Chain A
């Protein structure tokens, strides 16, 4: 699981790392909208260019970003298989008796794959350059205007930050329990179905037990330090928008406008 890069923060020193999380979140949302505009291949090329240069500016290696796609591989292959059976338009590429594979199956899949890849790239660019805590601060601030509609922005942010905070712990815990059970002869890769079920059980039960234990400990620790969800709190870190943040917003705005024009034309 050491190669698991989706959502991992990389402590590098780049201009993207220093941007205000709020600006980055909004920019990401704008790019996500742009990805879903039906602007054709030219549009995707444009977005890809922007995203790749963003990754380059953030000093992230393309390898790191591509690694984040790994979990999606299976989904993409699955999609292709489904499309091969379902889509019957375009021209025939291969035909085996009554069964034929059509070109649109590939084109449709490619469309979705390109969108997925771009989405993963842009979200990875966000999470790899923004500390989870900053990310939640940003989300909290962005949700504040919705407090009028009874959206509990602080609670949501706290939930997210706690969840994010525990992901590495849980991964570590999983690895630890896996090692402990491997020492007791558990083989997670091989064995009959029954043994496999047992192996997974030997992992999940201790994981749940310790997750609940941690949750309880944390809740107690927070209460002991006087945390109350609704109460007013001061902040250690105050976010401030600067020139570069506005440049990012303007650039992503320009991108989405370009895409809208492309999709109308």
Chain B
């Protein structure tokens, strides 16, 4: 079943001089089994929105439906733990959450909190570490001795090890090198297609949104500006123009070609495909 936001508002520090309405009556339905991107300018409420998914933040008004559960402002916190196993949330710069002596222990920390035995937790941790490409030779090292990118991968493994049904990632590739970021996005795509996980990614990178995501939700000043499939979103150049987004390279190339009188209708994603389409066009 889909994730549903109904008239969800969130007000920070209500009743103090610092009060701020970060979300305003959000109505949103995120499809199950898809890879959805959430984009928007900084401060538009993306992080606030995703923290409602595992009830780290409760709506000030309205309700969120996730996996048969309803999260509203009067939710009892005791019932939330099992929700957090099913909705894994990876924060912006998750490397700051590492604390155990060894990498394996740190990744097994999550499953252990959710009542898995030591062996089960370790098995899950090893599987998750393999997914993020951390070699077994690292298992007994301290997570603090890793490079930034490796730390990030270990931290993400810490959430994957809980085997959540829904995985939410807040800017997972921020600050990674292009190669690392690409590998990361490919991992999420694989989790989505191979393991059927519903994945929600907050991102600023249009190339990633274009190449890996199915749907896109645009937030603006705490409201949903639009919610479209990625193909529709980029097909119509008005969205990128209105939102001041620089479109992905392939789309830019297509637009330039169109201006020169070569219109390519097919939905191409990669430079190779584009080249192929151009060649086809030129031959005809």
List, in ascending order, chain A residues with CB within 8 A of B77's CB: 189
Q: Let me know if B117 is at the binding interface, CB within 8 A.
A: no
A206 touches B81 (CB 8 A): no
A184 touches B81 (CB 8 A): no
A180 touches B91 (CB 8 A): yes
Comparing B65-73, B95-103, B204-212, the segment that makes contact with chain A is B95-103
Comparing B82-90, B224-232, B242-250, the segment that makes contact with chain A is B82-90
B158 touches A201 (CB 8 A): no
List, in ascending order, chain B residues with CB within 8 A of A185's CB: 81, 84-85, 110, 113-114, 162
User: In the complex, which residue of chain B has the Cβ closest to the Cβ of A173?
Assistant: B96
User: In the complex, which residue of chain A has the Cβ closest to the Cβ of B158?
Assistant: A184
- Tally of A-B Cβ pairs under 8 angstroms: 63
A183 touches B99 (CB 8 A): no
The docked-state distance in angstroms from the alpha carbon of A189 to that of B80 is 13
Contact among A10, A183, A187, A209 with B56 in the assembled complex (CB-CB below 8 Å): A183
Q: What is the size category of the interface that chain B forms with chain A? A: 20 to 34
The docked-state distance in angstroms from the alpha carbon of A182 to that of B114 is 11
List, in ascending order, chain A residues with CB within 8 A of B81's CB: 185, 187
The docked-state distance in angstroms from the alpha carbon of A186 to that of B99 is 13
Q: A63 → chain B, closest Cβ, in Å?
A: 9
With A185-B110, A210-B96 already in contact, the answer to whether A179 and B91 are too (CB < 8 A) is yes
With A179-B51, A179-B91, A209-B144 already in contact, the answer to whether A184 and B97 are too (CB < 8 A) is yes
User: In the complex, which residue of chain B has the Cβ closest to the Cβ of A201?
Assistant: B99
Q: Let me know if B188 is at the binding interface, CB within 8 A.
A: no
DSSP class of A's interface residues: helix, strand, loop or mixed? helix
A179 touches B56 (CB 8 A): yes
List, in ascending order, chain A residues with CB within 8 A of B5's CB: none
The docked-state distance in angstroms from the alpha carbon of A137 to that of B15 is 31
List, in ascending order, chain B residues with CB within 8 A of A10's CB: 17
List, in ascending order, chain B residues with CB within 8 A of A195's CB: 113
User: What would 24 A/B residue contacts be, using CB atoms closer than 8 Å?
Assistant: A2-B16, A173-B96, A177-B96, A179-B51, A180-B96, A180-B97, A182-B56, A182-B84, A183-B56, A183-B88, A183-B89, A184-B97, A184-B109, A184-B158, A184-B162, A185-B113, A187-B113, A189-B77, A190-B78, A195-B113, A202-B99, A206-B97, A206-B98, A209-B96
Residues of B within 8 A of A (CB): 12-13, 16-17, 51, 54, 56, 77-78, 81, 84-85, 88-91, 94, 96-99, 109-110, 113-114, 144, 158-159, 162
The 4 closest A-B pairs by CB, nearest first: A185-B113, A205-B99, A180-B97, A184-B110
Residues of A within 8 A of B (CB): 2, 10-12, 173, 176-177, 179-187, 189-190, 195, 201-202, 205-206, 209-210
